A = this chain, B = another copy of it.
Amino acid sequence: MSQQERAVRTQAALIRAAAEMFDRHGYEKASLNDISSGAGVSRGALHFHFDSKAEVAFAVESAAARTLRWVMDGVPSKDVCALQCLTDLSHRLVQLLLWDVVVRAGFLLSCEAGSRVRTDLCQQWRSYVHGLVLRAAQEKALAPGVSQESVVNAVVGATVGFVVLSRADKQWLAARTVTGFWRLLLPSLADPRTVAGLDPAGTRSAHGDPGRTAP
């Protein structure tokens, strides 16, 4: 293995170990010692890659943002109506948050950090939701009088809430939680002509290969 390959592997191991520590103990309690020993490297090796805990957190958030973008872009949107696509995307997000500790830690860091954050995953998620609600309006798939802003707020608010609450109880990220949310919301927000064709549990593409990981 070349020196460069080794450095890339060490960095990936540090990001994963840091995500596990942030996820388990929160940012405040995670120590650089725990992170380096979790990755099986020396404290010196950690400092070769990162200057501070804030730098490690930024790397976790950046890696999470890349994976989020990769997975979201992988959900088929062609020939799928925007509201179904939005439902599918939210199921994919929740699965990703359950399976991928880097995405979960990055998303929580980003939502909870206030001003520290430089990569805003919540904002990234919001822009996916916003784009699809806009497309739904263009498709005339929203019920008359429904405010696009309210739909975006309800979807982003609930998903962020589910992730934060999942800290104490993983059931908040169960597929049935998300399905229940859409079963409630879709009849109000979708045009009566479209609602019957929508599946609150997500289409097959929403529950794609759980093993699909970022490149």
**Nearest-CB distance from A175 to chain B (Å)?**
13
Which residues of chain B are near A52, meaning CB under 8 Å?
Answer: none
What per-residue 1/0 map shows which CB atoms of A99-120 lie under 8 Å from chain B? 0000000000001111110001
Asked if residues A180 and B149 are in contact (CB atoms below 8 Å), the reply is yes
**Nearest-CB distance from A29 to chain B (Å)?**
8
A186 to B187: give the CA distance in the assembly, Å.
11
Q: Within the complex, which residue of B26, B120, B157, B165 is in contact with A122, where a contact is CB–CB below 8 Å?
A: B165
Which residues of chain B are near A161, meaning CB under 8 Å?
Answer: 156-162, 164
Does chain B have a CB within 8 A of A8? no
Q: Within the complex, which residue of B25, B28, B165, B180 is in contact with A154, where a contact is CB–CB below 8 Å?
A: B180
Does chain B have a CB within 8 A of A183? yes
Interface size class of A (residues with CB under 8 A): 35 or more
Asked if residues A112 and B164 are in contact (CB atoms below 8 Å), the reply is yes
**Which residue of chain B has its CB nearest to the CB of A171?**
B153
Known interface pairs A116-B26, A154-B158, A157-B172. Does A111 touch B184 (Cβ–Cβ under 8 Å)?
Answer: no
A168 to B172: give the CA distance in the assembly, Å.
23
A28 to B115: give the CA distance in the assembly, Å.
13
Q: Within the complex, which residue of B26, B28, B113, B154 is in contact with A184, where a contact is CB–CB below 8 Å?
A: B154
Which residues of chain B are near A129, meaning CB under 8 Å?
Answer: none
Known interface pairs A183-B147, A185-B185. Does A113 touch B154 (Cβ–Cβ under 8 Å)?
Answer: no
4 smallest CB-CB distances across A and B, nearest first, come from: A150-B180, A161-B161, A28-B28, A157-B161
Identify the A interface with B (CB < 8 A).
Answer: 25-28, 111-116, 120, 122, 146-147, 149-151, 153-154, 156-162, 164-165, 167-168, 172, 177, 180-181, 183-189
